[in-house]
A and B are shown apart, each in its own frame.
Chain A
Amino acid sequence: MAMGVPFKKSLSRFFVFPEIIAILLAFLIGALILVFSGYSPLVAFSALFRGAFGSRNAWGQTLTQATPILFTALAFLLTFRAGIFNIGVEGQFLMGAMASALAGVYFSGLPAPLHIALSLLLGGAMGALWGLIPALLKVYLGAHEVITTMMMSYIASYFTSYLVNYPFKAPGWVAQTENVAKTALLPKILPPTQLSLSFIIALFLSLLLSFFLFHTYFGFQIRAVGLNPGIAENRGIAIKNRQILAFILSGFIAGIGGGGEILGVHGRFVDGFSPGYGWDGIAVSLVGKLHPGGCILASILFGMLRAGGMTMTRVTKVPLDLSLIIQALVIILVSAPYFIKAIILRRKDF
């Protein structure tokens, strides 16, 4: 209350980006936690930033980590815009990854570009199929998508696990498929890091999705259905149709993401290779304000916390969990913009 009016005004102008404040605040709280646990935040954070952006390789690491969650964020965002809470992105991602892996292993004799395209598209198609099932259940039987997509995720998780443990298991004691053919591997774009063409595909899909949502009538109808099904119905928009379309496209994007991860990073489907990219995608999508451009930035932020966190752990012995704590704080604080405003301005009349 002691602050003068001009200062407040300049602060509120700053709030065009309340997310930035939220992120800074998350780091601040992280720093406090570090201090209380007996670490130096300065040392820890400088290691974290060096690990994330300090060199070409660091950038490569960060963007590699950002890639799969950018795909899953876009997938979640598309259904969310249609008013559907598709929390089954993880399942669509895994099914896509499996389809791409099998196509990579068992097709042979194809030229590289064709083999890659075919494997990725099969991944996308498998993801789309995994999205279509809950879509049909919702539209024709009224089954709520939160339940069905979550269950579909579990099915995908155990089903792919079964496939790599039994029918498609490569010899050896690890549950994984054979390596995919060389012709199916996505080119690395920043050697020696793992960053592959998959990242470029994700960026391209972000642009495409943005164009789709805001410059085509399909996107317009999907957004209208999501915001207000009542008027969409009134003005003759085929609601069910558009919801199914959103689900299919969402699954397709997630599936390509899964395929990109296999063909770009792992080279084979390894049981449990996803630490929950589908779930992280939901958070990235929300932090990115449900906009493709925002998702790019948010995925890089999350990628930075993962990549930098590993360096931090190596250099300073601060556990990797701190990165995850900061990540969680970002999610909480970004989803509470009013809380942030209230803290900073301490005004009553919000």
Chain B
Amino acid sequence: MSKILQTIGLTKSFPGVLANDRVDLEIEEGEIHGLLGENGAGKSVLMSTIYGLYRPDKGKILIRGKEVVIDSPHTAIQHGIGMVHQNLTLVPSFRVWENIILGKEIKKGLFLDEKKVLRQLEELLKVANLEIDLRAKTEELSLGSQQRIEILKILYRGAETLIFDEPTTVLTPQEVDQLITTFRSLKKEGKTIIFISHKLKEVFAVCDRVTVLRKGKKIGTLPIGEATPEKLAEMMVGRKVLFSFPRGKKPGKEIILKLEDITTSEEKGKVALQNINFTLHAGEILGIAGVEGNGQRELAELLVGLIKARKGKIFFREEDITSLSPKERIKRGIAHIPEDRLRRGAIADFTVWENLIIGFEDQPPFVKGKLTFNHSFLKQFSSQKVKEFEIDTPGDDALLKNLSGGNQQRVVLARELSGNVFLLIASQPTRGLDIAATEYLRNKLLELKNQDKGIVLISADLDEVRSLSDRVLVLYEGKIMGELSPESDEYQFGLLMGGKNGNGGSI
């Protein structure tokens, strides 16, 4: 094999940050190369430099051993390098084929030669082993399918090396599996893939070799056979990382939450919950497992009061809260980490301190008098939270959108845990977070458990559910398929998650 792409001493700095510090990277032709690192390690900057979005301060880029200057994405694609960005760059109202050819149209006079384009694209689909309806409207497709359009876009332009910048962050687990299959078939076609990620599991599933970056420096490159999750995590974080957690003390007797025969009505775009019964004790983590879209979101919304039950009752510390508003539930000590941070958890264009008080803004001591903010208390409150939750921010006046995902999640957590909390509903709490941030959050959940709080942990990450929970319920099409102990084997989980009960029959 030969080196298709190589960087020598690549250095790039931004005001105040050395994003890449003399990075030597070697990519072999036809391999799937993982590029690992925590948020801010410099992975995206390195790839953006290779893709021509940034110019390096120092260092060289070699393609097939020859030095090249890449000053724009256009030049990059001429050298056979294409990139699929984390945030997709498609025109939502266009058809799939229109998006693929946008910028490299085949014309017949004034018009697009639709027939010829479609013929070419069908060919491309076959070669790449991808399935997509070329005539579908882009905005109607799932994120996974939209990502496939991006892949086709760069293949159509003749890319040999495909860079994927954290492609799995926005995908559901099934879509991740599909993407990994796509990687394999692209490799079979002789393409080279650079896969940026901070999820070890995915890297182990598909990569041939991995390079780890930390704080702008290359820590090392190794074949996947020589790597272990512990070793890679240590290279990424710079210290030993916890993978298994001590389970902590046994749950107490006190009942925190009790659902009695809850059923919600069927609405467009929502899964109806059916006859849900469960009990949560103090000091207990109850895991909710299941394939996404089987009622997890609805369950969380039911518990915080955004969806009303059509039938059944919810008891919180022996009080019937079935008809209480979200506000009343917050006051009683129910906290919630929503699954979609920037849609339901925090406001990107608000400052850190503003985000820390959403939901408390109209209560003393946050207000003094009837209407006005008590700024000195707000200041004190937010700087205390920033310290307590180790939020890495230039100040509590910084806009939330300027913080990393992990720190945004800490802001949400800090807000939700202020006040006297008895119950935390954590929906996909570590999604999109890097290793250190994930570890922090999981530790925090255990800490809460040991303080006798009740926790409902809803997660699509089965490993996460199993390593933290005391008991696990499996949700399928809005129903609870069964309860398992976290030690049960993966096969049993798989059966329940697929809608089959323990007796092998399907419901």
Contact B347 A236 (CB under 8 A): no
Q: Confirm or deny: B175 has a beta carbon within 8 angstroms of a beta carbon on chain A.
A: no
Q: Confirm or deny: A152 has a beta carbon within 8 angstroms of a beta carbon on chain B.
A: no
Contact A217 B350 (CB under 8 A): no
- Can you name 11 A-B pairs with beta carbons within 8 Å? A215-B372, A216-B367, A216-B371, A220-B354, A228-B347, A230-B340, A231-B345, A234-B306, A235-B359, A236-B325, A348-B71
Instruction: Report which A residues bind B (CB closer than 8 A).
Output: 215-218, 220-221, 223-224, 227-228, 230-237, 348-349
Q: Which residues of A contact B359 (CB under 8 A)?
A: 235-237
Contact A230 B373 (CB under 8 A): no
Which B residue's beta carbon lies closest to that of A238? Answer: B327
Which A residue's beta carbon lies closest to that of B349? Answer: A227
Known: A217-B362, A236-B328. 4 other contacts (CB 8 A): A220-B357, A231-B347, A233-B306, A235-B358
Q: A234-B338, A236-B325 are in contact. Are A217 and B347 (CB under 8 A)?
A: no
Q: Which residues of A contact B361 (CB under 8 A)?
A: 217, 220-221
Q: A227-B349, A233-B306, A233-B326 are in contact. Are A349 and B343 (CB under 8 A)?
A: no
Q: Confirm or deny: B97 has a beta carbon within 8 angstroms of a beta carbon on chain A.
A: no
Q: Confirm or deny: B421 has a beta carbon within 8 angstroms of a beta carbon on chain A.
A: no
Q: A234-B306, A236-B325 are in contact. Are A348 and B72 (CB under 8 A)?
A: yes
CA distance A230 to B357 in the complex (A): 16
Question: Out of B53, B330, B340, B345, which one reaches A236, CB within 8 Å?
Answer: B330
Contact with A along B404-420 (1 / 0, CB 8 A): 00000000000000000
Contact B373 A216 (CB under 8 A): yes
Query: Could you tell me how many residues of chain B have their Cβ less than 8 Å away from some Cβ of chain A?
Result: 36
Q: Confirm or deny: B201 has a beta carbon within 8 angstroms of a beta carbon on chain A.
A: no
Q: Which residues of B contact A227 (CB under 8 A)?
A: 347-350
Contact with A along B323-349 (1 / 0, CB 8 A): 001111110000010101011111111
Chain A to chain B: the 3 pairs with minimum beta-carbon distance, closest first:
A236-B327, A235-B359, A236-B326
- Please give the distance in Å from B49's CB to the nearest CB on chain A: 11
- Please give the distance in Å from A47's CB to the nearest CB on chain B: 42
Q: Which residues of A contact B329 (CB under 8 A)?
A: 236
Question: Out of B72, B326, B362, B373, which one reaches A234, CB within 8 Å?
Answer: B326
| Total inter-chain residue pairs, C-beta < 8 Å | 70
CA distance A215 to B368 in the complex (A): 11
Q: Confirm or deny: B54 has a beta carbon within 8 angstroms of a beta carbon on chain A.
A: yes
Contact B371 A217 (CB under 8 A): yes
Q: Which residues of A contact B373 (CB under 8 A)?
A: 215-217, 220
CA distance A215 to B375 in the complex (A): 8
Question: Out of A221, A230, A236, which one reaches B344, CB within 8 Å?
Answer: A230
Contact A231 B54 (CB under 8 A): no
Q: Confirm or deny: B366 has a beta carbon within 8 angstroms of a beta carbon on chain A.
A: yes
Q: Confirm or deny: B76 has a beta carbon within 8 angstroms of a beta carbon on chain A.
A: no
Q: Which residues of A contact B366 (CB under 8 A)?
A: 217
Contact with A along B294-318 (1 / 0, CB 8 A): 0000000000101000000000000
Contact B371 A224 (CB under 8 A): no
Contact B362 A221 (CB under 8 A): yes
Instruction: Report which B residues bind A (CB closer than 8 A).
Output: 53-54, 71-72, 304, 306, 325-330, 336, 338, 340, 342-350, 354, 357-359, 361-362, 366-367, 371-373, 375
Q: Which residues of B contact A228 (CB under 8 A)?
A: 342-343, 347-348
Q: Which residues of B contact A224 (CB under 8 A)?
A: 347, 350, 358
CA distance A234 to B359 in the complex (A): 9
Contact B304 A234 (CB under 8 A): yes
CA distance A129 to B36 in the complex (A): 59
CA distance A231 to B330 in the complex (A): 13
- Please give the distance in Å from A242's CB to the nearest CB on chain B: 11
Q: Which residues of A contact B330 (CB under 8 A)?
A: 235-236
Q: Which residues of B contact A348 (CB under 8 A)?
A: 71-72
CA distance A217 to B360 in the complex (A): 9
Which B residue's beta carbon lies closest to that of A234? Answer: B344
CA distance A231 to B337 in the complex (A): 11
CA distance A82 to B271 in the complex (A): 31
CA distance A343 to B325 in the complex (A): 52
CA distance A235 to B328 in the complex (A): 10
Q: A224-B358, A235-B359 are in contact. Are A218 and B347 (CB under 8 A)?
A: no
Which A residue's beta carbon lies closest to that of B52? Answer: A348
- Please give the distance in Å from B56's CB to the nearest CB on chain A: 12
- Please give the distance in Å from B284's CB to the nearest CB on chain A: 24
Question: Out of B306, B340, B358, B372, which one reaches A216, CB within 8 Å?
Answer: B372
Q: Which residues of B contact A349 (CB under 8 A)?
A: 53-54
Contact B350 A235 (CB under 8 A): no
- Please give the distance in Å from B364's CB to the nearest CB on chain A: 11
Which A residue's beta carbon lies closest to that of B71? Answer: A348
CA distance A234 to B336 in the complex (A): 9
- Please give the distance in Å from A7's CB to the nearest CB on chain B: 16
CA distance A61 to B340 in the complex (A): 52
Contact B358 A231 (CB under 8 A): yes
- Please give the distance in Å from A239's CB to the nearest CB on chain B: 11
- Please give the distance in Å from B151's CB to the nearest CB on chain A: 24
Q: A224-B358, A231-B345 are in contact. Are A217 and B326 (CB under 8 A)?
A: no
- Please give the distance in Å from A9's CB to the nearest CB on chain B: 9
Q: A234-B306, A348-B72 are in contact. Are A218 and B346 (CB under 8 A)?
A: no
- Please give the distance in Å from A329's CB to the nearest CB on chain B: 28
- Please give the distance in Å from B99's CB to the nearest CB on chain A: 23
Q: Which residues of B contact A217 (CB under 8 A)?
A: 361-362, 366-367, 371, 373
Q: Which residues of B contact A218 (CB under 8 A)?
A: 371
- Please give the distance in Å from B182's CB to the nearest CB on chain A: 30
- Please give the distance in Å from A142's CB to the nearest CB on chain B: 15
CA distance A216 to B361 in the complex (A): 9
Q: Which residues of A contact B338 (CB under 8 A)?
A: 231, 234
Contact B346 A231 (CB under 8 A): yes
Contact A235 B326 (CB under 8 A): yes
Contact B371 A231 (CB under 8 A): no
Which B residue's beta carbon lies closest to that of A9? Answer: B15
CA distance A217 to B365 in the complex (A): 12
- Please give the distance in Å from A10's CB to the nearest CB on chain B: 14
Which A residue's beta carbon lies closest to that of B330? Answer: A236
Q: Which residues of B contact A221 (CB under 8 A)?
A: 361-362
Which A residue's beta carbon lies closest to that of B350? Answer: A227
- Please give the distance in Å from B431's CB to the nearest CB on chain A: 16
Which A residue's beta carbon lies closest to that of B53? Answer: A349
Q: Which residues of B contact A220 (CB under 8 A)?
A: 354, 357, 361, 373
CA distance A227 to B357 in the complex (A): 15
Contact A231 B326 (CB under 8 A): no
Contact B343 A230 (CB under 8 A): yes
- Please give the distance in Å from A15's CB to the nearest CB on chain B: 14
- Please give the distance in Å from B383's CB to the nearest CB on chain A: 19
